[in-house]
Structures are given as C-alpha cells and as structure tokens.
Amino acid sequence: MTQYLLSVWHAEDAEVYPDDETMQRAFTQVDAFNEELQASGSWLFAGGLQPPSSASVVRVTDSGTSVTDGPLAEANKYIGGFWLLETTDLDAAHVWARKASEACMNPVEVRPLQGG
C-alpha cells in the first residue's frame, strides 16, 4: 500500500466558489466523499487550509530564527485543502482524486509520499 497526498488547488485571484449555494453544494459533496473514503479504509487524514495570507514562514540560519508573515512561495495558485490516503497504487489514487475533484469542484493534484 502506498500513501498519497491529494491536494485541492485554487486560483489566488478568483473566488473559490461563485456564490453561497455553490459553496454549500461543494461542502455537502465533500462530506459525502469523505464518508466514502473513510468507509473504504483508505482515509488517513484530511483538512482545509486558510488562505495564503494567513501563513508565516520560519527560517533557522546560523544567525538565529526568523518568522515572517505571508506565504513562502509567490504563486497564482495555492493549496486550499488536502487528503492523505493509503491505497494500492497510483491508478486507485487517481480514482479517488477524480471523485475528490468532482466533489470539491476544483483541480486535485496527486503525489505519492516518499518511502511508499
């Protein structure tokens, strides 16, 4: 069994959902997806993230530790949430990613964890 990160991506300059009705539909669909993933035994962990503006970066160098506000990377897309799952192979992870993308109505990237 291999572990995978499924990450949901959003465009920085656009609303994630165009209106409250669409957002509520996505939340309902993601809840159903989460239940299916948990029932399958593949679920490890999941979470939604606050926007990049809420991030901070910690750096340790020879001269000490610094903390700066804001995201590390300057990008036009950001991770809005993620799932960690364990499944048989990449094909199975792609099946889950398709379902995740359909549920949250956003692109989902699939990446295997190291050591898997």
Report the mean per-residue pLDDT for the chain. Answer: 94
Q: What are the sequence ranges of the domains in the chain?
A: 2-112
Place domain 2-112 in its CATH homologous superfamily.
Dimeric alpha+beta barrel (3.30.70.1060)
The residue count of the chain comes to 116
Please state the pTM of the whole predicted model. 0.90
How far apart are alpha carbons 19 and 46 in whole angstroms?
Answer: 24
Looking at residue 113, what DSSP letter applies?
P
Contact 9, 81 (CB under 8 A): no
Per-residue pLDDT of 6-19, as tens digits, reads 999 988 777 889 99
Per-residue pLDDT of 43-62, as tens digits, reads 999 999 998 889 999 999 99
